[in-house]
Amino acid sequence: MASDLPNKPEGVAEGLADFGYLASEGLATAIFLSLSLKRPLFLEGDPGVGKTEVAKTLAKWLDTELIRLQCYEGLDISQALYEWDYTRQLLHLRAAEASGRAVEVGEKVLEDEMYHERFLVKRPLLQAISHSKETPPVLLIDEIDRADDEFEAFLLEMLSEYSVTIPEIGTFEARIPPVVIVTSNRTRDVHDALKRRCLYHWVEHPGFDREVMIIRSRVPEATENFAKQVAAAVELVRDLGLYKPPGVAESIDWAIALGRLGSRELDESSILGTMGALLKYREDQIRMQDHGIQELLDKALARVG
Amino acid sequence: MSVKTQGKPTEVPELLTVGFVTLLRSLGLTIPIGSVIAFQESLRELGLENRKSVYWAGRTTLITDPENISLYDQAFIGFWEGQTFLEQDLLPLIQTVTLAIDDGLPLDEIADKEEHPEGEVINLRYSTSEVLQQKDFALYSLKELEEAHVLMQAMLSIGGNRSSRRKLPSGKKTQYPDLRRTIKRSLRTNGEPIRQDFLERGKRLRRVVFLLDVSGSMETYARALIRFVQAAVVGRRQVEVFTLGTRLTRITRELSSRDLDRAIDAAANSVQDWSGGTRLGETLRIFNNDWGQRGIARGASIVILSDGWDRGDASVMSEEMGRLQKVSHKIVWVNPLKASPGYEPLAQGMAAALPYVDQFIEGHNLESLTNLAALLSE
C-alpha cells in the first residue's frame, strides 16, 4: 500500500469502503489531503459519528499498525510518551551495589547504564515516532478534549516536528512521519494553535442514503428495506430534541439488537424492547415514548414506502 | 509514501487563493499565513477542475470551527461561483450592534420600549436613579478602566480550586511514590535508595460558566454585567460565557481580548438577540444539550445573571435547571432585582428555578458583584 496510494479523494473513499467505512466526500478529501500533505487530521463532531472508526479503518486499509492514545485529564508524559522501567533500573542498581561495581565504576558510568534505551518503556507517542517500518503507523490521539491544556501544548510541539526529546538519551525523530488522527467530541474548545497545525474536518451525522449504506455494510443480515426503516426512524429520533441524539454507532447497535430479536420489520414492540441500544438516557427514552412510538413508526414506514 | 503518481501538480494562481482568503478575513475570520499555504498546497494536489474539491480544500485548511462553516459557504459561493454578494445575506452576520448609548429618554419611555406585558411589575425591577447614572458602558472612561482592573485582580483568584489528576513532585510523604526522583537520587548513594520521594495531586482552577441574560428586561443590567464577566474572562483562566435570551450565543472568545472596548464590541456584535424576548428555559435547554452536559458544565461553578423573567413554560425551566444541577458543582443565581425593597421571586421562571439554586444573591452594582467574586472562591 505504501507506494500506490490513490491520487484522488475518490480513491480514499473506495479504499475505506473496502473495509466497511463509508466516508463522505468531505471526509475522504480531508483524509486524502492529510496523507498527501503529511499533516495530522483533526476530526471533531458529536459522539458516535464515527471519528475513531476512521483511524481504525485507515490502519486496516493501509495495512499498518494502529497506535492509540486515549486522552484523559492528567495524562502526562509518563503515560503518553515514555517512562523508565523503574523496577529494572532499581534491580540493576542493587546488583551493581551488591557486587561492588557501583563503587568501582562510579556514579557517571552507572548513570549512563541506567538511562539506556533498554530500560525505556515506550508509550504510544514514542512508539509512533520511533517506528522502523516502511509503512508508517496510524497514530490515533482519541478525545483530545479530555486531556488538559498542558498536554495540548506538548502535543503541539510533537506534531509540528514529528520528533521528541528525552533528556537522558537524546532526540527521536520519525524517519517517515506517522499518519496522525486527532479526535475531539468538543466538550471544550481545543486551542486554535493545535487545530491550525492539523487539517480540520467537522464530522456530521450521515444523510439518509449514506446511513442506509452504513447499516447494510455493518449489519450484513439487514435487508435493504429493514436498513431503510431503521435509518428513517433514527433520523426522526434525532429531531426529537433529545439530550443525546443517537449517532451512527447507535444506529448500528440498534439494527444489530433488532436483528437479534428476529425482527425483519420495525414494529412497536421491538422498538420498545431495543430502545436501550439507541437511547442511553432515561429521560430520552421517556421523551420518545411520550412522543408516541407508533406515530414515529408510521412516519418512518411512510418515508420508506 | 508518494501520493502523486501522474503528471505535474496543478499550478494554482496565488491571486486566487489569497483573494479568497482576503474575502474570508474581511468577513471576520482569523486565518494565519500557515493555513493559506496549506490551502495552496491542497489545491495543487486536488486541482481546480472540481468545484467540490476546491470547496473541501478550503474548508479543511481554513476553517477550524463548525460555527464558521455557514460563513465559509456563503463566501465560497460568492467567490468561486461568480455570484455577487447579496449584501443583505451577509448583513446579519456582520451587523454592528451599538451598545448602551444613553439616549436621554425618560425612564418610562425606556420601559415602554422593552415591551413588557407585565408592565405593572416593572417598578420593582431597578432603582431608577442608578440606571440614569449609567452612561455608555461600551466606552470605558479612565476611572472605569481602573475599576475594571480592580475587578480583574479580584477575579484572578476566584472560583476556587479543585484537585487535579496531574501529579506534581511533593515535599511531603503522600500515597504516590515518585520513583523517577527516588532512583535518580539513589545514584548518588551508590544505588541505595535511602530517601524516598513522593508526588501529590496538583490543583486546578474550577471552571466558571457565566450565563448572562440579555433579554429586554435585563437590558440596563446586562451592559454592566458584561463588564464584570469580561473581567473574569481576561483575569482568570477556565471561564466560559454564554448569553441567554431568545437564543444561545457563546461569547467567550469575543470577550477574551485585553482591549476592553474591542472585547465588549465584539461580544455585542455576536449577540443577535440583544434586548429581545425571553425564553430562558428553552435557551437553557440548548445550553444543556449542546455544551453543558457534554462537558463545559461538568464540575463547574455556574453563575446565572438574570432577573428570572421567562415567557416560556415554567416546567421546561425546572427540568433544565434540574439537569444543570446534576452535572455542575454549584449554581449561583445573581438577580439584580433582589436588592429592591420588598422583592419576592415571583417571576415564573425564577420561582421554578429557585429550588435548584445553591446561592441566590443580588447583583445590582459593582460592590455586590465583588461579593460574588468572593462567594465563588469559597
- Structure ipTM: 0.85
CB-CB under 8 Å, A2 with B60? no
Question: Based on the number of CB atoms within 10 Å of its own CB, is A94 exposed (0-12), middle (13-18) or buried (19 or more)?
Answer: middle
| Choice among A268-272, B180-184, B342-346 with the minimum mean pLDDT | B342-346
Amino acid at B168: L
Q: Sign of the CA dihedral B132, B136, B138, B141?
A: negative
Q: Find which of A209-223, B161-175, B288-302 is predicted with most confidence, using mean pLDDT.
A: A209-223
Pick from A35, A72, A96: which is nearest to B191 by CB? A96
d(CA A25, CA B56): 8
Which chain B residues are Cβ-neighbours of A110 within 8 angstroms? 187, 191
| Choice among B90-104, B159-173, B205-219 with the minimum mean pLDDT | B90-104
Distances (CA, A) of B359 to A152, A192, B71, B230, B355: 35, 35, 40, 22, 10
Which residue of B lies nearest to A30 if distances are taken between CA atoms? B60
β partners of residue B240: B209
The 3-class SS string of A42-106 reads EEEECCCCCHHHHHHHHHHHCCCCEEEEECCCCCCHHHHCEEECHHHHHHHHHHHHHCCHHHHHH
Pick from B5, B191, B294: which is nearest to A97 by CB? B191
Give the percent of chain B with pLDDT over 90.
11
Which chain B residues are Cβ-neighbours of A145 within 8 angstroms? 295
pLDDT tens by residue, A46-92: 888 999 999 999 999 999 999 999 998 888 888 999 999 988 988 88
pLDDT tens by residue, A247-290: 999 999 999 999 888 888 888 889 998 999 999 888 889 989 98
Q: Say which residues have a Cβ less than 8 Å from residue A165's Cβ, sequence separation at least 6.
A: A171, A172
Closest chain A C-alpha to B49 CA, distance in angstroms: 12
CA angle in degrees (0–180, nearest 5) for B109-B110-B113:
90
Give the position of cell 447583583.
B363
CB-CB under 8 Å, B289 with A29? no
Which chain A residues are Cβ-neighbours of B298 within 8 angstroms? 187
Pick from B41, B164, B190: which is nearest to A102 by CB? B190
Q: Which of B64, B166, B168, B319 to mutate to test the interface with A (most CBs of A within 10 A)?
A: B64
| Choice among A15-24, A182-191, B33-42 with the minimum mean pLDDT | A182-191
Give the position of cell 444561545.
B248
CB-CB under 8 Å, A35 with B1? yes
Which residue of B lies nearest to A91 if distances are taken between CA atoms? B191
What is the model's pLDDT at position A16?
A: 94
Q: Say which residues have a Cβ less than 8 Å from residue B217's Cβ, sequence separation at least 6.
A: B114, B116, B125, B278, B307, B309
Give the position of cell 433544565.
B320
Quickly list H helices, A130-223. 149-161, 192-197, 208-218
Which chain A residues are Cβ-neighbours of B63 within 8 angstroms? 200
Q: Quick one: pLDDT band at residue B354, thresholds 50, 70, 90?
A: confident
Answer yes or no: are the C-beta atoms of A144 and A152 closer than 8 Å: yes
What is the model's pLDDT at position B90?
A: 43
Distances (CA, A) of B231 to A110, A285, B35, B156, B271: 54, 42, 31, 9, 18
By DSSP bridging, strand A170-173 and strand A163-166 are: antiparallel
Q: How far is CA B8 from the centre of its chain?
A: 47
| Choice among A30-44, A150-164, B309-323, B353-367 with the minimum mean pLDDT | B353-367
d(CA A299, CA B259): 53
Concatenated DSSP letters for B132-195? HH---TTS--HHHHHHHHHHHHHHHTTT-EEEEEEEEEESS--SEE-HHHHHHHHGGGTT---S
Which cell numbers in the block locate residue B102? 444613553
Closest chain A C-alpha to B58 CA, distance in angstroms: 10
Pick from B3, B193, B204: which is nearest to A36 by CB? B3
What is the model's pLDDT at position B365?
A: 63
What stretch of H or E contains B333?
strand B330-335
d(CA B70, CA B57): 16
Which chain B residues are Cβ-neighbours of A96 within 8 angstroms? 190-191
What is the model's pLDDT at position B130?
A: 31
Closest chain A C-alpha to B298 CA, distance in angstroms: 10
Answer yes or no: are the C-beta atoms of B306 and B213 closer than 8 Å: yes
- What is the average pLDDT across B321-341? 84
Greater confidence, B361 or A294?
A294
Which chain B residues are Cβ-neighbours of A196 within 8 angstroms? 32, 34-35, 64
Angle between helices A293-304 and A282-291 (to 10 degrees): 70
Pick from B52, B66, B293: which is nearest to A243 by CB? B293
In the predicted model, is pLDDT for residue A208 greater than 70? yes
What is the model's pLDDT at position B378?
A: 67
What is the model's pLDDT at position A140?
A: 97
d(CA B240, CA B255): 10
What stretch of H or E contains A270?
helix A268-278
Q: Say which residues have a Cβ less than 8 Å from residue B266's Cβ, sequence separation at least 6.
A: B254, B255, B257
Pick from A186, A199, A243: which is nearest to B61 by CB? A199
What is the model's pLDDT at position B153?
A: 63
Which residue of A lies nearest to B293 if distances are taken between CA atoms? A243
d(CA B203, CA B159): 12
Q: Which of A37, A143, A160 to mutate to test the interface with B (most CBs of B within 10 A)?
A: A37
pLDDT tens by residue, A137-165: 999 999 998 888 788 888 988 888 898 88
d(CA B261, CA B142): 12
Q: Which of A54, A81, A202, A282 to mutate to test the interface with B (most CBs of B within 10 A)?
A: A202
Which residue of A lies nearest to B204 if distances are taken between CA atoms? A148
Answer yes or no: are the C-beta atoms of A16 and A58 closer than 8 Å: yes
Pick from B57, B69, B289: which is nearest to A202 by CB? B69
pLDDT tens by residue, B132-151: 233 333 444 556 656 656 66
Q: Quick count: other Cβ atoms within 10 Å of Cβ B26? A: 10
Greater confidence, B64 or B258?
B64
CB-CB under 8 Å, A94 with B60? no
What is the model's pLDDT at position B252?
A: 86
Greater confidence, A100 or A34?
A34
CB-CB under 8 Å, A145 with B295? yes
Answer yes or no: are the C-beta atoms of B83 and B47 closer than 8 Å: no
Q: Quick count: other Cβ atoms within 10 Å of Cβ A148? A: 18
What is the model's pLDDT at position B274?
A: 66
Give the position of cell 510523604.
B173
Q: To the nearest whole number, what is the mean pLDDT of chain B?
A: 73
CB-CB under 8 Å, A76 with B1? no
Residue A115's SS3 state is coil
What stretch of H or E contains A253?
helix A248-260
d(CA B41, CA A29): 13
Q: Quick one: pLDDT band at residue B8, thresholds 50, 70, 90?
A: low
Pick from A30, A38, A196: which is nearest to B35 by CB? A196
Distances (CA, A) of B162 to A93, A207, B89, B208: 39, 42, 46, 12
pLDDT tens by residue, B111-137: 343 333 333 222 223 222 233 233 333
Q: Which of B30, B60, B182, B187 to mutate to test the interface with A (most CBs of A within 10 A)?
A: B60
Angle between helices A208-218 and A224-238 (to 10 degrees): 130
- What is the average pLDDT across B325-342? 82
Which cell numbers in the block locate residue A219? 449489519
Number of H helices, E strands in chain B: 16, 9
Distances (CA, A) of A86 to A90, A92, B95: 6, 10, 61
CB-CB under 8 Å, B165 with A72? yes
- What is the average pLDDT across B315-335? 88
Which chain B residues are Cβ-neighbours of A286 within 8 angstroms? none
- Largest alpha-carbon pair distance within chain A? 87
Give the position of cell 470577550.
B255
Which cell numbers in the block locate residue A166? 528525552
